[in-house]
Amino acid sequence: MADSRASSPTRVIVEFDSIRPKLVAIRLFLAFVLALAAFVPAGLAQTRQRSYFESKLAVGHKLPFSSGVLVGDTLYIAGTTAVSPEKLKTAIGAEDEARLVMDNVRQVLQQAGMTMDDLVSVQVFCTDLQNYDAFNRVYKTYFHGKYPARALVGVSNLLFGARFEVMGIAIRSRR
């Protein structure tokens, strides 16, 4: 029994010596992470700050959502239509409706200090794909540079009888 007790401490020391390089590496990694963490909170605080924007239509109808939410330099634009229940009484053409919806999108962008050229992604919902060309004729006039990525999706209907609903994501460009 004396021999087994004498060999046990030696065995523990050998095992500890074999993991020592791993412990040193872990300590260095943790020191790096802690040093890096000193710089990260300022950046995270900026992305956590949010600003909320409302279109005139949303304010007028007390809709239960924001027209746009700015997080850092990224603006998320809610689905936007050109029509309200009052507009249902007035028949407007597809191009006029496209112009009104794009004006509403531009209004939210301007509230956030952005332009249409800050849009990076746009989704268009359309109740009649026969209006694709009419929408594009108007859409093209709102941009000065490259167009954002876009999807135009056919849907069966939209709120208030709208033909088009547009939502998008914009990132503030460095001017």
**Mean pLDDT for each 10-residue chunk of the chain (175 residues)?**
53 55 62 55 59 74 82 94 66 90 94 95 97 97 95 93 94 81
- Domain housing 164: 48-171
Q: Are residues 9 and 61 in the same domain?
A: no
CATH number at residue 110: 3.30.1330.40
Q: Are residues 85 and 11 in the same domain?
A: no
Q: Full-prediction pTM beyond 0.85?
A: no
Q: Are residues 24 and 96 in the same domain?
A: no
CA–CA distance, 66 with 54 (Å, rounded to integer): 6
- Tally the domains of the chain: 2
Q: Are residues 96 and 33 in the same domain?
A: no
Q: Say whether 45 sits in a helix, a strand or coil.
A: helix
Whether 43 is covered by a domain: the verdict is no
Q: Are residues 34 and 120 in the same domain?
A: no
What is the pLDDT at residue 88? 52
Residue 138: which of 113, 116, 162, 160 has the closest Cα? Answer: 116
What is the pLDDT at residue 131? 97
